[in-house]
Amino acid sequence: MRTASRWIPLAVGIALVAVLAVLPLLNLSIPGVLPGATYTPGSLALMSLCMVFAALALSYNLLLGTAGMLSFGHALYFGAGAYGLGILLKAADLPLVPGVFAALLGGIVIAVVTGAVAMRVNGIPFAMVTLAFAQAGSVLVRRNQAVTGGEEGLGLNTQGVPDWLVGVVNTRNLYWISLAVVVIVYLIVLWVDRSRLGHLAAAARENDLRVRVLGLHPSRAKLLVFVIAGLCASLAGMAYLLLQSGTQPSAVGADLTITVLVMVVLGGVGFRWGAILGGVLYTILDQRLTVLARADAIRELPDVLRVPLSEPLFILGVLFILVVMFLPGGIAGTVDSLWRRRRGKAAPVVGLEAMEDDRVFEEATR
């Protein structure tokens, strides 16, 4: 029975990916969610953007959920992937595939250097150091007009990109590329979570001192998780560059990291499918609420209602507050809690935490 239950998530995941893969070939409409049928460029672009940010949320969940590291500079690696690939295509005239590998290598180097410095401290100081790195990256991007395009952003040089990835008519191919990026990032995160590396990082998150007493090196494990998360974020950044035909300085700043943090908290910290769900929901709400704010029905409302409803960030902020207050575990955490309660696994909280804690340390020390 246990073996069968282990295969159920795998079967569901494969079926979901298969459905998403054929979605651009179908004529489906979701009013209020997608701007048109699923095969139209507008809907495909929105769904592709959802997948890009779902991959970014997955990479951040690896930091916060697995290793317990609160970073305010994760957007730096997303921007490194986007700007790195864009600069290589523009300045070095590299083809797409070599440019992708070179940009990934650059993202790894940046993650190793910044992570090694930031992890000399823990907690809030760690978050502040990562924030400083992100702000420094944002300043460099905005000030180097000749290389990065400055405030106007960096456009995509299409000479090194295959024709089947350029233009609105090829949005379907970009959609499949974005889906492939989500699958790759998910498999990387899944591997880390189930490996000894992930168990050691999770054990350090629970009790760093206990891990050190056992003779292990949690700092190395956390740095490696940090670098892998940066690598996944860089991969998402490159998909963003191709999808948007360019990138902007906002892809590097701390504001994007805060947005991704909201996605992860909304979906549920520590849940892979929760991070994906949070990234998709936030992106759809952010895009569709902007359209709703311009609707005639909103303009005709009294000022006391029209002003807040015409601001998408206000609505998203209220939604986030409601989730934190009434769903403290996020959507995935709430579903998991209800599922455990239904199956009779609602043991005393302290005892359950103790059992989970011991299990994590046993797996980390194997």
Phi, psi angles (nearest 5°) of residue 196: -60, -30
Measured CA to CA, the distance from residue 278 to residue 272 in angstroms comes to 10
**What H or E segment, with its residue span, contains residue 361?**
helix 349-364
pLDDT given for residue 345 in this prediction: 58
Tokens of 326: 């009434």
Number of structural domains in the chain: 1
Asked if 60 contacts 78 with a C-beta cutoff of 8 angstroms, the reply is: no
Length of the chain: 366
Measured CA to CA, the distance from residue 29 to residue 284 in angstroms comes to 15
Answer yes or no: is 23 within a domain.
Answer: yes
Give the CATH number of the domain where residue 133 resides: 1.10.3470
Burial classification of residue 129, based on how many CB atoms lie within 10 Å of its CB (0-12 exposed, 13-18 middle, 19 or more buried)? buried
Measured CA to CA, the distance from residue 350 to residue 347 in angstroms comes to 8
Answer yes or no: is 225 within a domain.
Answer: yes
Measured CA to CA, the distance from residue 235 to residue 226 in angstroms comes to 14
In the block, tokens 């992100």 appear at 134
**Amino acid letter for position 101:** F
In the block, tokens 């892979």 appear at 272
pLDDT given for residue 11 in this prediction: 83
**Which ranges in the chain belong to alpha helices (H)?**
2-22, 41-61, 75-91, 96-118, 123-143, 145-148, 171-194, 196-206, 208-213, 218-244, 254-267, 272-293, 296-299, 303-309, 312-326, 330-342, 349-364
Q: Containing domain of residue 106, as a range?
A: 2-256
Measured CA to CA, the distance from residue 97 to residue 286 in angstroms comes to 32
Burial 28-51 (b: 16+ CB within 10 A, else e): eeeeeebbeebbbbebbbbbbbbb
Tokens of 104: 């990934």
Answer yes or no: is 329 within a domain.
Answer: no
Measured CA to CA, the distance from residue 185 to residue 190 in angstroms comes to 8
Answer yes or no: is 128 within a domain.
Answer: yes
pLDDT given for residue 6 in this prediction: 67
Measured CA to CA, the distance from residue 237 to residue 185 in angstroms comes to 12
Neighbours of 138 (CB within 10 A): 22
Q: If you ran DSSP here, which 8-state letter would residue 5 be given?
A: H
Tokens of 201: 């990082």
Tokens of 275: 């991070």
Answer yes or no: is 75 within a domain.
Answer: yes
Q: Determine the 3-state secondary structure of 331 from DSSP.
A: helix
Measured CA to CA, the distance from residue 290 to residue 309 in angstroms comes to 10
Answer yes or no: is 356 within a domain.
Answer: no
Asked if 66 contacts 193 with a C-beta cutoff of 8 angstroms, the reply is: yes
**Amino acid letter for position 100:** V
Residues of the chain with pLDDT under 50: 1, 346-356
pLDDT given for residue 151 in this prediction: 86
Q: Determine the 3-state secondary structure of 155 from DSSP.
A: strand
Asked if 188 contacts 279 with a C-beta cutoff of 8 angstroms, the reply is: no
Burial 192-207 (b: 16+ CB within 10 A, else e): bbeeebbbbbbbbbbe
